[in-house]
């Protein structure tokens, strides 16, 4: 099971088909025990109950009859609060045991209408069975005889239940995703201090900081499959393919599925990587909120890196020509990404000159907007 998209909304996996089957078998066993000396008539409430009714009948061991009524109570993802009967019954139910098979009971408005429909039909008894029940929002005092699964008050689709017509054919149940992550690409030229700012901002906004460099080093050091693959390219003097880098990032995101969001540091670096990241997040019902780039004059950064090179031990911080080559590469890639995110109204350039505290304050204003 993975996140699905119906119309423009995303739904996360919630209840598996196997768990649904266990619940139905349990209901069928209880109903069979209560109706062992008679032939009940099972009435499904369309449209949502058709899969439940079919599987329930197969699980029921005993003589029975089946019919349906059709009621309307939903529009989109919210209950309309009013119910109308659209299709009635032709069977003579006098003296019979009727078991209503409902796909889901939440507020109880539909259930109340069902009781009203059968109130004057001189039944032997009326029993209610529902596959799903939302106790948090149930507002009626009407008795429910059989409950398959109690669930929280979240909108669900699948197994006969739909979102604006779609999703009924899904074997599993999916829940409307309500968690909204804040995902930010933090960019800046070498020496701009984005790593320092990322560490401060991740704590301030309770986000996960994913540094491409750190991810590479972790995978290579721990000899993961991806790390070993990446090292093979590096050892041969080749660039690590985008798909390897992206798979590493995906693994980091998946490890933190409950996070409030992510700060992506050093990724994406190319438009193809940006598109791959967008596609990956879209599959999870998420998106990049913005690309925030620290803008610092090159000459200032060259001086800063040369100063850092005196103590860092990094050879690429001690050669001005190499430093300027790094800036040239950065400017080329940033220009492409700037255009990419600007087209989506997601590019935010920030003055990166000042103290750490001053830059954090400026960045925080952008983060607050996002």
Residue 305 CA to residue 174 CA, distance in Å, equals 51
The phi, psi pair for 350, rounded to 5°, reads -125, 135
Residue 155 CA to residue 152 CA, distance in Å, equals 9
* Residue 236 neighbours by CB distance under 10 Å: 7
Residues designated as active site: 194, 269, 308, 314, 326
β-bridge partners, 264? 185, 210
* Residue 323 neighbours by CB distance under 10 Å: 23
β-bridge partners, 228? none
β-bridge partners, 143? none
Whether 165 contacts 177, CB under 8 Å: no
């Amino acid at each position: 099971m993975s996140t699905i998209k119906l119309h423009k909304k995303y739904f996360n996996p919630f209840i598996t088909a196997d768990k649904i089957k266990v619940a139905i078998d349990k209901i069928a066993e209880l109903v069979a025990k209560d109706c062992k000396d008679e032939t009940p008539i099972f009435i499904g409430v369309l449209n949502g109950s058709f899969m439940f009714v079919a599987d329930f009948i197969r699980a029921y061991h005993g003589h029975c009859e089946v019919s349906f009524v059709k009621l309307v109570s939903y529009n989109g993802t919210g209950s309309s609060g009013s119910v109308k009967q659209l299709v009635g019954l032709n069977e003579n139910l006098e003296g019979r045991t009727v078991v209503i098979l409902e796909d889901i009971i939440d507020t109880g408005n539909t259930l109340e209408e069902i009781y009203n429909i059968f109130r004057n039909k001189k039944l032997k008894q009326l029993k209610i069975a529902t596959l799903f029940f939302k106790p948090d929002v149930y507002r009626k005092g009407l008795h429910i005889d059989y409950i398959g699964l109690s669930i929280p008050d979240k909108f669900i689709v699948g197994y006969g239940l739909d979102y604006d017509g779609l999703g009924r054919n899904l074997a599993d149940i999916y829940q409307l995703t309500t968690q909204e992550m804040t995902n930010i690409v933090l960019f800046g030229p070498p020496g701009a201090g984005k790593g320092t700012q990322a560490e401060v901002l991740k704590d301030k906004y309770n986000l996960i900081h994913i540094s491409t460099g750190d991810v590479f080093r972790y995978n290579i050091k721990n000899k993961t499959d991806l790390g070993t693959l990446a090292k093979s390219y590096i050892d041969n003097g080749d660039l690590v393919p985008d798909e390897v880098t992206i798979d590493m990032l995906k693994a980091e995101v998946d490890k933190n599925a409950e996070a409030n969001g992510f700060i992506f540091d050093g990724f994406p670096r190319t438009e193809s990587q940006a598109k791959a990241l967008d596609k990956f997040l879209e599959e999870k019902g998420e998106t990049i909120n913005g690309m925030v780039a620290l803008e610092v004059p090159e000459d200032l950064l060259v001086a800063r890196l040369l100063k850092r090179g005196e103590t860092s031990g990094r050879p690429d911080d001690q050669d001005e020509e190499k430093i300027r080559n790094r800036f040239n590469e950065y400017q080329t890639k940033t220009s492409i990404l700037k255009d990419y995110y600007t087209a989506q109204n997601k590019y935010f350039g920030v003055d990166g000159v000042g103290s750490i505290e001053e830059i954090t304050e400026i960045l925080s204003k952008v983060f607050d907007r996002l």
